């Protein structure tokens, strides 16, 4: 029986794909995804039918994937990072009928960015997307507030686009009510891909104009510090 696979391909670089993601793509006839993400698959797509569409085409891609699997093709729909965090696993399972679906997890951008910054996550953390396309801004603000009150490390996805230029500034203003001004902040653009750019700064000094939709932010907790050029959140081991 044909099957629909929802695959997290990791941040982009081939080396961060799991064996299972690679093997699953190899056995599918049809690959569906957002156009720039298909590009990360390189020669893995040779000889396959590719359906790629632009931003905001998520639900159309999901419906196409379900139709192709129903028609008897082993079909892959890909997300960058993990398949289930801000990915395609949710809408596929919401829409699916009759067909068999398997989710293949992947390395999310926050962990890739963390590995490039040092060890800024290490401990309890909260992941928040600043995109209000699908979530009311008030709910996002409340989460930023509660995560800051709880002294979580905070990872920020979708920090800033042309249509929401000041969301990140608003979010930082809320975080500054609870977090110190000099809390370390790591910004990674194109994490886990070619041309990775890293900025290590503090909560009061974020260079907003350098942040875009290809950037991930990691904001420290009250114990996070910088040693050399590495951002470190200690977990509390007695280091002797």
Looking at beta carbons only, is 66 or 211 nearer to a copy of itself? 66
CB of 186 to a copy of itself, least distance (A): 12
Kindly write down the DSSP assignment for every residue of 154-201, as one continuous string.
EEEES--BTTBTTHHHHHHHHHTTTS-TT-EEEEEESTTSTT-EEEEE
Give the contacts of 229 (CB within 8 A, at least 6 positions apart).
200
- Binding residues among 199-218 for a copy of itself as defined by CB under 8 A: none
Residue 160, phi then psi, degrees to nearest 5? -165, 125
User: Using CB atoms within 10 A of its CB, is residue 129 exposed (0-12), middle (13-18) or buried (19+)?
Assistant: middle
Any contact of residue 146 with a copy of itself (CB under 8 A)? yes
Q: Tell me the window of 29-37, 147-155, 160-168, 200-208 that interacts with a copy of itself (CB under 8 A).
A: 147-155
- Binding residues among 148-167 for a copy of itself as defined by CB under 8 A: 149-152
- Binding residues among 11-70 for a copy of itself as defined by CB under 8 A: 14-20, 22-23, 58-59
Q: Tell me the window of 64-72, 137-145, 168-176, 179-187 that interacts with a copy of itself (CB under 8 A).
A: 137-145
- Binding residues among 71-130 for a copy of itself as defined by CB under 8 A: 82-87, 89-95, 103-108, 111-112, 114-116, 118-129
The β-bridge partners of 49 are: 30
Beta strand 215-219 with 184-189 is antiparallel
Looking at beta carbons only, is 109 or 209 nearer to a copy of itself? 109
């Amino acid at each position: 029986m044909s099957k629909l696979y929802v695959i997290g391909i990791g941040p982009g670089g081939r080396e961060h794909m799991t064996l299972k993601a690679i093997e699953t793509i190899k056995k599918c006839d049809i690959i569906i995804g957002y156009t720039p993400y298909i590009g990360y698959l390189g020669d893995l797509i040779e000889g396959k039918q590719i359906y790629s569409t632009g931003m905001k085409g998520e639900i159309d891609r999901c419906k196409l994937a379900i139709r192709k699997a129903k028609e008897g093709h082993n079909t892959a729909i890909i997300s960058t990072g993990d398949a289930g965090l801000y990915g395609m696993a949710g809408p596929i399972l919401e829409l699916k009928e009759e067909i068999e679906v398997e989710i293949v997890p992947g390395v999310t951008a926050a962990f890739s960015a963390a590995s490039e910054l040092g060890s800024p996550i290490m401990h309890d953390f909260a992941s928040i997307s600043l995109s209000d396309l699908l979530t009311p801004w008030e709910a996002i603000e409340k989460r930023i507030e509660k995560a800051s009150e709880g002294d979580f490390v905070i990872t920020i996805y979708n920090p800033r686009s042309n249509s929401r230029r000041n969301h990140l500034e608003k979010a930082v203003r809320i975080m500054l009510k609870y977090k110190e001004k000099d809390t370390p902040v790591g910004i990674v653009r194109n994490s886990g891909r070619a041309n990775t750019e890293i900025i290590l700064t503090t909560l009061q000094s974020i260079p907003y104009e350098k942040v875009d939709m290809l950037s991930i932010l990691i904001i420290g907790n009250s114990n996070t510090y910088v040693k050399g050029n590495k951002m470190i959140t200690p977990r509390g081991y007695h280091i002797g």
